[in-house]
Amino acid sequence: MTRARPKVAPPSLAKAPTGIQGLDEVTGGGLPKGRVTLLCGSAGCGKSLLAMEFLVHGAVRYGEPGVCMDFEETEEKLRANVASLGFDLRDLAKRKKLLVDYVAVERHEIAETGEYNLEGLFIRLGHAVKAIKAKRVVLDSIEALFSGLTDSTTLRAELRRLFQWLEEHRLTAVVTGEAGEHTLTRHGLEEYIADCVIALDHRVTEQISTRRLRIVKYRGTSHGTDEYPFLIDREGVSVVPLSSLALAHKALTDRVSTGIPALDEMMEGKGFFRGSSVLVSGTAGTGKSSLAANFASAACARGEECLYFAFEESPSQILRNMRSVGLNLERWVRKRLLHFHAMRPTSSGLEGHLATIHKMIAKVRPRVVVIDPITNLISASGTYDVKSMLMRLVDFLKVEQITSMFTNLTFAGDPHEGTAAGVSSLMDAWIVVRDSKPNGRPRRELYVLKSRGMAHSREPRELIVSERGLELGAVLTDHTPGTAGASSSAVRSAK
Amino acid sequence: MKKSSPRKRRPAKTRRKDFYRLRLYIAGQTPNSIAAIANLKKICEDKLRGKYRIEVVDLLEKPQLAKGDQIIAIPTLVRRLPPPVKKIIGNLSKTENVIVGLDLQPLR
């Protein structure tokens, strides 16, 4: 036998974290350290911002100073652009953490009179890198050189030399490139970059814009080929690391109340499983939001934080409406247990909404999430696969062990088949509320259509919504008259 | 931009306005740098005798100077005077391009 050797872990690629929410997750830790990454996309897709965030976070959070050679914007302009995100470039420069060098390439003032190289650029970059002991470099966008210099043979040779230089100096670099018509970048920069290529995309469909990020290649790292939605807001870029790894989450056995004792009773007396996803579907005015609000309130009563996404009503409207059915939600808002986030469904596409949802969840870290209603999210989506996007959201919630409730509006005569895009198959529990008019007298009915992993009642009950709150009546049969409101005989005589 | 071509100046002012201050950026004694210095001296002697001054800046020694004149390529020749500032790149072997690029007029 040979002598036992210490086990050597396979050499894993060193990564430089970007500090951008979600991006480090989808890249398995960040960009390849000491290598060049190409970031490409059309104008306005957010590549400069993403590159700048990579530098700033590197300098501030990871102790890696950075140099930005900006071929497009002057230092002043760039400073103003990122100031809105709370980055103070002047201060960073003073503390020797980040330098910006604006490189002006203007064709009209350059006449070419014989052989040359780009040593000037190398010297400038080297000088800046040395001055602050930089570990990161951004070249944004180096393609500007192509418009300033006509000798493309020299230029290409020099670019190759530049990327080699960056690697020799163990700099983690991001190079941006404008998207070409049939190629990733207009001037084929991707031919020079072997390690990592990330493409950004900004599409507008039906007046709704959606931003997506795709890892085209990442040598030595397994990565999803999915497109990840991302957001640009006041806090910069955040990528939604929704991936379809799926079904790896741990199923929890503890239970959470539905907020309605009688409904808990229908589910082994205990309510939903923690970490499960619950769908509440029903026609208009059947009390879906009230069910969701009771569920949220029960979570707050346990001292858990709840994040409530409202796509139909403003928070104050929800608070008022719930007061009328005997539910005081204000106290939870005041105790900072209940967080509302209201969005217009048309304000962005499904991906944009998912990005926001994801970001808010990462910020609030709730135990319970309500999305009311999910219908509007679906209607806001373009052509992209709604179901797969929702599946990724549901997976994410499960992995985070967040119990979630989605309400879904259906239309009369089509109580659950109308549940769009088959989202119901993603759900662990499904509660249906509906109107019915047995004997001509309207009433609301509720039943548990499914609830995975538990014995549950399947019999419909009357759902009574009053100023005392939500209650369930006795088990209904087709012949059972309702218990609330006018007596059935009164309705009959009125006819 | 207003173009102040020496050609359009009145004779009285010609002497001052015709003085050329040129700065050549190089990076070490590379073949292109050496060629550029030689080419520049020859052109200036032919066209600007007595009316020019050449300053050679080696960026390997003074890298901080690259930013001020926005130097990317090496060699780069900057015409600092007369205005406007003009910039040409290359080893200055294409004499015609240099003359056009620097807007030189032949000696009278």
pLDDT in tens, A240-259: 776 655 556 777 889 999 99
A112 neighbourhood in chain B, CB within 8 Å: 88-90, 94, 97
Q: What does the alpha-carbon distance between residue A236 and residue A493 come to, in Å, rounded to a whole number?
A: 65
Report whether B18 contacts B5 (CB < 8 A). no
Confidence of residue A147 (pLDDT cuts 50, 70, 90): confident
Task: Give the residue from A315, A114, A351 showing the smallest Cα distance to A227.
Answer: A351
A388-417 mean pLDDT: 78
Cα distance between residue A102 and residue A361, in whole Å: 38
* Contacts with B66 (C-beta within 8 Å, 6 or more apart), sequence order: A120, A123, A124, A127, B25, B59
Average confidence (pLDDT) over A318-326: 92
Mean pLDDT along residues A290-317: 93
B-chain residue closest to A103, CA distance: B70
Chain B residues with CB-CB distance to A69 below 8 A? none
Domain ranges in chain B are 18-102
Chain A residues touching residue B94 (CB < 8 angstroms): 112-114
Q: Any chain B CB within 8 A of the CB of A400? A: no
Query: Nearest-CA neighbor of A235 among A20, A18, A88?
Result: A20
What CA–CA distance (Å, rounded) separates A168 from A455? Answer: 64
Contact A110 B100 (CB under 8 A): no
The CA distance from A26 to A358, in Å, is 14
Using CB atoms, which residue from B63, B75, B98 is nearest to A123?
B63
A425 CB-near residues (< 8 Å, 6+ apart): none
Query: Among residues of chain A, what percentage have pLDDT more than 70?
Result: 85
* Tokens 């002057």 belong to residue: A74
Residue type, A23: L
**Nearest CB neighbour to B71, from listed A111, A115, A120:** A120
- What are the backbone angles phi and psi of residue B16, rounded to the nearest 5°? -70, -45
| 3-class secondary structure, A92 | helix
Q: What is the pLDDT of residue A487?
A: 40
Question: What's the rounded Cα separation, in Å, for the pair A419 and B58?
Answer: 73
Q: Does A322 score more than 90 pLDDT?
A: yes
* Chain B residue nearest residue A109, CA to CA: B87
Q: Pick the residue of A108, A109, A113, A127 with the most B CBs within 10 A to test the interface with B by mutation.
A: A113
Chain A residues touching B77 at Cβ < 8 A: 113
Is residue B11 pLDDT above 60, yes or no? no
Least CA distance to A128: which residue of chain B?
A: B64
Among B64, B85, B90, the residue with its CB nearest the CB of A116 is: B90
Q: Does A139 touch chain B (CB under 8 A)?
A: no
A247 Cβ neighbours under 8 A, 6+ residues apart? A395
**Are B94 and A114 within 8 A, CB to CB?**
yes
The pLDDT of residue A43 is above 90: no
Alpha-carbon Rg for chain B in angstroms: 14
Contact state of B66 with A127 under an 8 Å Cβ cutoff: yes
**Residue-level pLDDT at A392:** 76
Task: Identify residue A187 by its one-letter amino acid code.
Answer: H
Give the pLDDT confidence score for residue A151 in this predicted structure: 84
Which of B27, B70, B101 is facing A111, going by the closest CB pair? B101
Instruction: Decide if B89 and A127 are in contact by the 8 Å CB cutoff.
Output: no
Nearest to residue A231, comparing CAs of A205, A198, A199, A209? Answer: A209
pLDDT of the residue at A292: 94
What's B18-102's CATH class? alpha beta
CB contact under 8 A, A123 and B59: yes
Residues in CB range of A184: below 8 A, 6 or more apart: A38, A40, A177, A190, A197, A199, A216
Of A401-405, A435-439, A443-447, the range with the highest mean pLDDT is A401-405
Task: Please indicate whether, in this complex, the C-beta atoms of A123 and B67 are within 8 angstroms of each other.
Answer: no
For residue B7, the 8-state DSSP code is G
* B63 neighbourhood in chain A, CB within 8 Å: 123-124, 126-127
For residue B84, say if its preceding peptide bond is cis, omega within 30 degrees of 0: yes
Inform me whether the pLDDT recorded for A415 exceeds 70.
no
**pLDDT of B103 over the 90 cut:** no
Q: What is the mean pLDDT of residues A74-88?
A: 88
* Mean pLDDT in residue range B52-70: 93
Lowest mean pLDDT among A1-10, A108-117, B31-40, B74-83: A1-10
Q: Tell whether A112 lies on the interface with B, counting CB pairs under 8 A.
A: yes
Q: Are A57 and A86 in contact (CB under 8 A)?
A: no
Q: What is the mean pLDDT of chain A?
A: 84
Whether residue A383 is predicted with pLDDT greater than 50 in this model: the reply is no
A335/A245: higher pLDDT: A335
Best mutation target, A99, A106, A109, A119, to test chain B (most B CBs within 10 A): A119
| Statement: residue B78 has pLDDT above 90 | yes
CA distances to A64, A214, B102, B105 from B77, in Å: 36, 43, 9, 17
Do B63 and A101 lie within an 8 Å CB cutoff?
Answer: no
Banded model confidence at residue A206, pLDDT cuts 50, 70, 90: low
Of A184-188, A246-250, A403-407, the range with the highest mean pLDDT is A403-407
Which pLDDT belongs to residue A490? 38
- Map out the domains of chain A as residue ranges: 15-239, 255-479
State residue A8's pLDDT score: 44
- Tell me which amino acid residue A21 is: Q
Give the whole-angstrom CA distance, residue A302 versus residue A368.
11
Window from A6-15, A163-172, A280-289, A463-472 with minimum mean pLDDT? A6-15
CATH number, domain A15-239, options 3.40.50.300, 3.40.718.10, 3.40.190.10, 3.40.50.1400: 3.40.50.300
Chain B CB within 8 Å of residue A109 CB: yes
**pLDDT for the residue numbered A412:** 65
Nearest by CB to residue A110, choosing from B35, B89, B92, is: B89
Q: Quick one: pLDDT at residue B21?
A: 92
Task: Tell whether the model's pLDDT for residue A108 goes beyond 90.
Answer: no
Average pLDDT rounded to a whole number, residues A198-205: 84
Which CATH superfamily includes the segment(s) A255-479?
P-loop containing nucleotide triphosphate hydrolases (3.40.50.300)
**How does A305-338 read in b/e, with b if 16+ C-beta sit within 10 Å?**
bbbbbbbbbebeebbeebeebebebeebbeeebb
Q: Tell me: the pLDDT tens digits for B32-59?
A: 999 999 999 999 998 888 888 999 999 9
Tell me whether residues A113 and B74 touch, CB distance under 8 A: no
How far is CA A115 from its chain centroid? 50
Give the residue with greater pLDDT, A323 vs A249. A323
Cα–Cα distance measured from residue B92 to residue B43, given in angstroms and rounded to the nearest whole number: 9
Q: Which of B89, B95, B99, B102 to mutate to test the interface with A (most CBs of A within 10 A)?
A: B89
Check whether B1 has a pLDDT greater than 70.
Answer: no
Give contacts of B 31-90 with A, CB under 8 A.
32, 35-36, 39, 59-60, 63-64, 66-67, 70-77, 85-90
Strand locations in A4-86, DSSP E? Answer: 15-16, 31-32, 36-41, 66-70
Model confidence at A112, pLDDT cuts 50, 70, 90, reads confident
Report the chain A residue with the minimal C-alpha distance to residue B65: A124
Q: Output the six-digit token pair for A355.
A: 């990005």
Report helix, strand or coil for A67: strand
Does residue A476 sit in helix, strand or coil? coil
Judge whether A145 is closer than 8 Å to chain B, CB to CB: yes
| pLDDT confidence band for A188 (50 / 70 / 90) | confident
Contacts of A231 (CB under 8 A, 6+ apart): A211, A237, A238, A240, A352, A355, A356, A359
pLDDT at A44: 82
Is B100's CB within 8 Å of A145's CB?
no
